[in-house]
Amino acid sequence: MSRFQRSEKAMPSKGHDLTGAVLPAASAAFHDPHCQQGRTAITHLFEWRWDDIADECERFLGPYGYCGVQISPPSENAVVTNPRRPWWERYQPVSYKLVTRSGDENALRDMITRCNKVGVRIYADVVINHMTGAGGSGTGTGGTHWDGGRLSYPGVPYGPNDFNDGSNCHSGDGSIHDYTNPEEVRNCRLVNLADLAMGHDYVRGKVVDFLNHLIDLGVAGFRVDAAKHMWPGDLLAVMGRLKNLRSDMFGSGSRPFVCQEVIDQGGEAVKAEEYLQSGRVTNFKFGLELGRVFRRENPMKYLVNWGTGWGMWGGSDVVNFLYNHDNERGHGGGGGPLTFREARAMKLATAFMLAHPYGFPRVMSSYDFTSSDQGPPHTGNDETAHVQLNPDFTCGGGWVCEHRWREIYDMVAFRNVAGTAPLSNWWSGADYQIAFGRGDKAFLALNLEDFPLRATLQTGLPQGSYCDVISGNLEQGRCTGNTVQVGGDGRAHFDVCSSCDDPMVAIHVGAKIGSPPLRTG
């Protein structure tokens, strides 16, 4: 019988009931990003084509030590023509076919395989809370017809019985209006998007099949869009039914990494900690608070107890970021985060994020835009344009590529070298001058005052000559930028500018003169 001919509605389980869920052996089951040894940070290559990501894994991300890439949603989506092909059409699924403007399933499979071969993991952004807007109709990026008014999505297939309705959403018009009401947030439509009934076993099964197909292709895990709009028990039930990751890529018994988008900046009715059994959560507090500090609205010296001391979750429970594709456009919370448009402060904040041991960091890689709806750089027929590369490693053609900024990729290396070494040798001078180390591996000094930071500080590092990786690199046994001398007692003199573009100094044992090169390409 067709899904659209059923006369009886499947009985949903209670959203917060864990009945039927396969509970993980420990709450950390979905928290491991499965980075290759020595890699500790990921980037979000927003709206990149699959073939460009494959090339980027081989030529840059692998050699420069990135753990992985969050990709844009790979499932077929609505083609939106007003406004013309906006970025957010990727967040209006039509089916779970793997055809988007980033490429088809063959291109996706090739990208995942090539990236894994060079030690770069792929995390798929998955939209499972909803389908398109509950109105209108059209043809998706893979040629599938859909009708939001009739709640008809034959490409899955989903029909009217597979969506939340007035039986559990009591807002009147079916949409969310009261964010202080958890039931409304989870049972009603987010901006009129057709809200899937994740408590129904049939819907769960279709979502599980979709995610398992991506696992078969070789992804390491998922970023779950709009997770706060689903019940924690429903998400745990779905994740509990997923396959283990491919053993040829990740070893036996590896569970998928799950990063759940839960916007919780304090005072929310839906709490991020409710979701920690089914994965990590996106830490929106992180970028909000660092933005205040590096805009000089809150003294930098207060970062001494950064992390849980600022009311955030445990480091193994979060994915940290300064900004994402939503809030850099003024959407999805964040209170106006630091972005590439405030490059000086953003680079300093990113350096702090990558140097500090708290949490798991994600670096945003953007394209430029003049309106909040604008889609990626494209050709005349609306095909996503290839990323253009400049000789200095930066990008052109409208692509910003923050992950390729030298101050950022060299701080990824800093973090990789620091590894699990603890925070050490904290120092603060004026309100906006700090320095700290990571055991005997690395040391960073930051200055946002209107005068230079000049101080002799304990670094904890072995004696030797170190290249400042902010001003240059270690190449052919010498520093292309500034050099810092660390004495036999671990102390070094720092002179950190105040008016320059990069008022910081970073050193680590991987950039010590006489040490072997870090990169493999």
**Catalytic site positions:** 225, 261
Where residue 436 falls (left for φ over 0; alpha for ψ -120 to 50; beta otherwise) is beta
Decide: 295 and 345 in contact? Cβ < 8 Å. Answer: yes
| Phi–psi pair at 419, nearest 5 degrees | 55, -125
Residue with tokens 């494209």: 378
What CA–CA distance (Å, rounded) separates 133 from 87? 15
Q: Residue 96: CA atoms inside 13 Å, Cβ hemisphere, count?
A: 20
Whats the size of the chain, residue-wise?
Answer: 521
Decide: 197 and 162 in contact? Cβ < 8 Å. Answer: yes
Cβ atoms within 10 A of the Cβ of 5, count?
Answer: 7
Decide: 89 and 80 in contact? Cβ < 8 Å. Answer: yes
Cβ atoms within 10 A of the Cβ of 232, count?
Answer: 24
- Cα dist. 382→223, 373, 389 in Å? 26, 15, 21
Q: Which pairs count as long-range contacts for 475-483, CB under 8 Å and 24+ apart, including other chains?
A: 477/513, 477/514, 478/513, 479/511, 479/513, 483/513
